[in-house]
Copies of this chain bind each other. A is one copy, B any other.
Amino acid sequence: MAVVAFIGLGNMGGPMAVNLLKSGHQVCVHDLMPAAVDLLVAEGAQSAASATACVEGADFVISMLPASRHVEGLYLGEEGLLQSIAPETVIIDSSTIDADSARKVAAAAAEFGIAMLDAPVSGGVTAAAAGTLAFMCGGDAETFSMARSVLEDMGKNIFHAGDHGAGQVAKACNNMLLAIHMIGSSEALRLGADNGLDPAVLSEIMLASSGRNWSLEVYNPYPGVMDTAPASNNYQPGFMVDLMVKDLGLAMDCAVGSGSSTPLGSMARSLYAAHAANGNGDRDFSSILEVLGQ
């Protein structure tokens, strides 16, 4: 079992840290919200007065933060954690941030002799609690293999996407594709319904045909077709529109940076951005169906 410092105990980080405790790891936690820390202490974690104190003696430092600026703020600069982390430690950053930022922090860590992985996750709050997240990792093969067993205590599918930043790129690509088939499935169901078809019957047909995709399989956006889906629960998230806008922004950053053409992905970002700007940012992302007409 390992000694783990876990920084960032939000909706995702909290249950991830709990799963590490359940697997028998010794976990020291840190968060700006005392209540989040207390919750983990009640589950058996230690707490520390500061992030710096927290990482002392850790085999792994895992961070789960909202955005690039938080990750850069945590690790870089004269008061950054890289000044305090011992060289044999492995840093796993599971935040979803832009690939350039991930590469920048990994390069800075390398100057201190510290190995690092970018390891964003897929699966949401439910998978975080169930320990069935997918991890998409960027970094060298040796670091990936050192981190694997710890990641397996929090997730089910652990992928090595490539070098530093590749985990972030993989997640951006995946979530862009998710947005596309969610909107596409919404369009197909709306078009069918507008032409007299029962969305449940049409869903069944497309699931057995070449239209099949994850949105139709587990997350049908048409109210009433799938009892467990957010669409049947007034689009309570689930995965919020605002988070999809963020992820599509990261995909567009990649695309602009590499000069890649992403016609449907770009359109998806604009449709989600419009949906958020019209007051739907905190609803489930499958509510994009309503943009097509209510």
Copies of this chain:
4
A188 lies within 8 A of chain B by Cβ: yes
Q: Are B267 and A294 in contact (CB under 8 A)?
A: no
Once A166-B197, A214-B211, A214-B213 are accepted as A-B contacts, the answer to whether A190 and B261 lie under 8 Å apart by CB is yes
Once A169-B195, A270-B266 are accepted as A-B contacts, the answer to whether A188 and B176 lie under 8 Å apart by CB is yes
A288 CB to nearest chain B CB (Å): 10
Main secondary structure of the interface of A (DSSP, over half): helix
Once A177-B213, A184-B184, A211-B214 are accepted as A-B contacts, the answer to whether A202 and B259 lie under 8 Å apart by CB is no
A92 CB to nearest chain B CB (Å): 17
Tell me the residues in window 181-238 of chain A with beta carbons closer than 8 Å to chain B beta carbons: 181, 183-185, 187-192, 194-198, 201-202, 204-206, 208-214, 217, 219
Give Cα A278 to B275, complex, Å. Answer: 13
Once A197-B162, A205-B161 are accepted as A-B contacts, the answer to whether A270 and B278 lie under 8 Å apart by CB is no
Q: Which segment of A36-44, A55-63, A248-256 sits at the interface?
A: A248-256
A107 lies within 8 A of chain B by Cβ: no
Closest-by-CB residue of B relative to A157 is B208
Q: Are B266 and A266 in contact (CB under 8 A)?
A: yes
Q: Are A277 and B261 in contact (CB under 8 A)?
A: yes
Q: Are B278 and A259 in contact (CB under 8 A)?
A: no
A19 lies within 8 A of chain B by Cβ: no
Give Cα A217 to B105, complex, Å. Answer: 35
Additional pairs, 6, CB under 8 Å, beyond known A181-B181, A264-B268? A170-B206, A173-B189, A180-B180, A194-B258, A256-B269, A278-B293
A residues bordering B, Cβ < 8 Å?
A: 99, 122-123, 134, 136, 157, 159-163, 165-166, 169-170, 172-178, 180-181, 183-185, 187-192, 194-198, 201-202, 204-206, 208-214, 217, 219, 245, 249, 251-271, 273-274, 276-279, 291-294
